[in-house]
Structure 1
Amino acid sequence: MNEVEQLTVDLVQLPLFDIHASAGLGMPVGPQVQLGALAFDRAFLRAQGADPESCSIIAASGDSMEPAIPDGALLVVDHGQTEIRHGHIMVVNVGEDLLVKRIRRRLDGLVDLISDNPAYPPETVGRDMIDQLRIVGRVVFFCRAP
């Protein structure tokens, strides 16, 4: 096996969807249109705590997760990680909105969606909305333009 063949064995093609998770006040989910795929090293994704076979790529839209995640950043999302994990950046559906936020489960059973940008206060998913909260997956890596 030559070097090029060896490299392709270790890569996984992640689907890139024309979907934007709002890093702001919320964005309705549209149809899932695949734009293409990007290759990632399986070992790299595993080192991020991801299952390479469960990942896809979407974009962030908005400034609520700045400075960590800027508007337009590509998000690698592991769809196998759907448990609420305190402090992790997750892609979530609340009602019809798709959001990217840090997530915190409170002792009273409610869930806080936290923006990194201090201009956006935390939002609490109350008991009346908790059944509409769906964890899409954990953001395991993001790419941004310099």
Structure 2
Amino acid sequence: MSRVLQIEPSSISPRLAAQLPAKTSESSEEDFADVAHLDVKVAAGHGSVPHFEEELGTLKFRRDFLRSVGVSEANAVVVTVTGASMEPTIPDGSVLLVNRANKEPRANAVYVFHLRGNGLVVKRVVKSGGLWMARSDNDDREAFPDFAFDDGATLIGRAVWVGSKL
């Protein structure tokens, strides 16, 4: 905040300023990791079949951020979302940072699935009646019904970050 206000913290509170960590230089290139942005569409709807997986480029993420969300650089990948089933949480056209190492279902977390015959989808995982279910955040249950995932669905990884237009 002191950077935004362009004042030194000690001018506000010398006691609190003494407790702040020492100033460090601006972020360096080593503070950031390149995460592959794949030309893969993940449907927020009825599935998207990837015909090939090509790297479009990379997005830079702070390494400390990746650690804070529990994803290693080796298991991180960015994919693009198409469709409205996860709105308002994940708008159509968003990009997702996916942790491909996290394939154990966790209630209320968002995962990318591969559905046999339907391709890739992104859904929230919930437990209902003892079954793991995939649920859309969009309230239109007629258009986007829940489904149990079992032998017909494979968890690809947990979504840990979304980037979208405002």
Letter in 2 for 1:95: R
Aligned amino acid, residue 102 of structure 1: R
Are 1:141 and 2:161 counterparts?
A: yes
Deviation at 1:119, TM superposition (A): 0.9
Q: Which runs of 4+ in 1 moved over 3 A?
A: 105-108
Shift of 1:50: 2.4
Retained in 2: the 8 A contact 1:77–1:140? yes
Please, which runs of 5 or more residues in structure 2 have no aligned partner? 1-24
Cα distance in 2 for partners of 1:106, 1:84 equals: 13
**Structure 1 residue runs without a partner (length 5+):** none
CA distance in 2, matches of 1:125, 1:29: 22
Question: How do residues 82-121 of structure 1 correspond to structure 2 at under 5 angstroms?
Answer: 82-96=103-117, 97-108=119-130, 110-120=131-141, 121=144
**Aligned-partner residue type, residue 120 of structure 2:** L
Counterpart in the other structure of 1:123: 146
Q: Tell me: higher relative CO, structure 1 or 2? Use CA pairs within 8 A at least 6 residues apart.
A: 1
How far 1:107 moved relative to its partner? Answer: 4.7
- How far apart are the structure 1 equivalents of 2:148 and 2:50? 18
- Cα distance between partner residues in 2 of 1:46 and 1:57: 16
Q: 3-state SS of the aligned residue for 2:28?
A: helix
Residue type at the aligned position of 1:66: E
Query: In the TM superposition, what are the counterparts of 1:27-46 in structure 2 within 5 Å?
Result: 27-46=48-67
- In the alignment, is the contact (CA less than 8 A) between 1:84 and 1:105 conserved in 2? no
Q: Report the CA distance between 1:43 and its aligned residue.
A: 0.6
Kindly report the root-mean-square deviation, in angstroms, between the aligned alpha carbons of the 2 structures. 1.8
- State the alpha-carbon separation in 2 of the partners of residues 33 and 135 from structure 1: 20
In structure 2, distance between residues paired with 1:81 and 1:107: 24
Matching residue of 2:69? 48
Give the structure-2-normalised TM-score. Answer: 0.77
Q: Which has the larger radius of gyration?
A: 2
After TM superposition, the score normalised by the length of structure 1 is 0.86
Q: Say which structure is richer in strand.
A: 1
Distance 2:86 2:158 in 1: 14
| Displacement of 1:25 | 1.4
Task: Give the corresponding residue for 2:19.
Answer: none
Cα deviation for residue 28 of structure 1 reads 1.4
Q: 32, 45, 49: which is aligned to 1:11? A: 32
